[in-house]
Amino acid sequence: MAGTTPGPSGTPGTPRVLRAMNDRAALDLLLEHGALSRTRIGKLTGLSKPTASQLLARLEAAGLVVATGTSEGRPGPNAQLYTVNARAAHVAGLDVNGRRIAAAVADVTGRTVGEFELATPGRRTDSVVRQVADALDGAVKDAGLARADIHRIVIGTPGAFDPGTGRLRYASHLPGWHSPTLLDELAAFLPMPVEYENDVNLVAVAEQRLGAARGHEDFVLLWNEEGLGAALVINGRLHRGFTGGAGEVGFLPVPGTPLVRQVVRANSGGFQELAGAQSVPRLARSLGIDTPQQPYAEVAADLLARAAGAYEEDAALTELLRQYAQRLATGLASVTAVLDPGLIVLAGGAVAAGGEVLRSLIQSELAELAASRPRLVVGEIDRTPVLRGALERALADTRDEVFDTSR
């Protein structure tokens, strides 16, 4: 996750650098509050009226702010309002899985202006570069832009690209993405900077910027949808590990399941087998609940939503929720023993479907299994969280570039 915003280039304390710092502070306030008057910007930044006026004139000339109507409903003359120029920059995010690539484009204010989804069935013959380009171009077209208008792209995938070899690891189910030259091919084909991040890490970015982890510098996010994984945020930054595999808790050996050997080749492990979404239909059947097995992520979400709605009214569904909470708490107890987080965010369709009832049961079980007692919350980014995180990550870096007026 992005750390603190780097300061403007130049010698600290010089008028040019101080002006750039004030410019960035004003732009951040406009992003946070929306349209503001010169007087309001002056009060929020502590700048005098003349200095605030000069600042706004400078930002308007640079194309970073635009005048947008006047204030109303207050005594005296209406004040001119200013807002960030949404067209100052655009970024794109891609969310890749084995069935499709979802793409979105956002303007510099963070508003999504274009979306597209490209189906990528396993036997598709198009190259990954072609697939990425088609998905990106679809979102760009939906936004009414051209590819050259995109300042930066962040691509979220399962697993992680090994920083030493460039190969995608921990995601053997993603066809076509394991070539050691893939990143070089994408860099040569796309004209803008491209970054890559684990999809669960991007959910954590979204939750920290906009959701349940706002204001938290240290937390763990547990994701449970088609796969079980975690994101680890320490001192405000993502911890990725030596090969990018930190948080691959699906491979974690846990009580209650046989040891899985050669876990990378099997693309599974103890915790995945114990508490992944595919375990929910099996658990339901063992309790006498008639249910289909596939598609397991959707079936699991439906079962857990039903169980939460019928908690303490239907004996079988109640037991399903209790046993599943215990399974999740079993793996989280190991995570807690190592990391001792103050906050754990539960995200992904399987756990979100259980809602507050499931969260409360996991919290109670974890209190019995772990030495410390982190607070558990349900994630708040319920629509395309990987895409949202990709856009937020791209926006952070792009704003640092575009909003730097010291150059």
Q: For residue 223, list its beta bridge partners.
A: 229, 347
* SS3 category, 278: coil
Name the packing angle between helices 38-45 and 49-61 (round to 10°): 110
Name the packing angle between helices 315-339 and 296-309 (round to 10°): 110
What pLDDT is stored for residue 32 in this prediction?
A: 95
DSSP one-letter string for 239-256: ---SSS-TT-GGG---TT
Spatial contact of 307 and 321, defined as CB atoms under 8 Å apart: yes
Measured between its terminal Cα atoms, the distance across the chain in Å is 26
pTM above the 0.95 mark? no
What pLDDT is stored for residue 10 in this prediction?
A: 55
Q: What is the pLDDT of residues 143-154, one digit of tens each?
A: 999 999 999 999
What pLDDT is stored for residue 1 in this prediction?
A: 41
C-alpha neighbours within 13 Å on the C-beta side of residue 351: 31
In angstroms, the CA 290 to CA 6 distance is 56
What pLDDT is stored for residue 296 in this prediction?
A: 86
Which residues in the chain show pLDDT less than 70? 1-13, 72-77, 122-125, 266-267
Distances (CA, A) of 50 to 44, 79, 228: 14, 15, 55
What pLDDT is stored for residue 28 in this prediction?
A: 96
* SS3 category, 154: strand
Distances (CA, A) of 381 to 168, 204, 273: 26, 10, 26
Distances (CA, A) of 129 to 104, 185, 187: 17, 7, 10
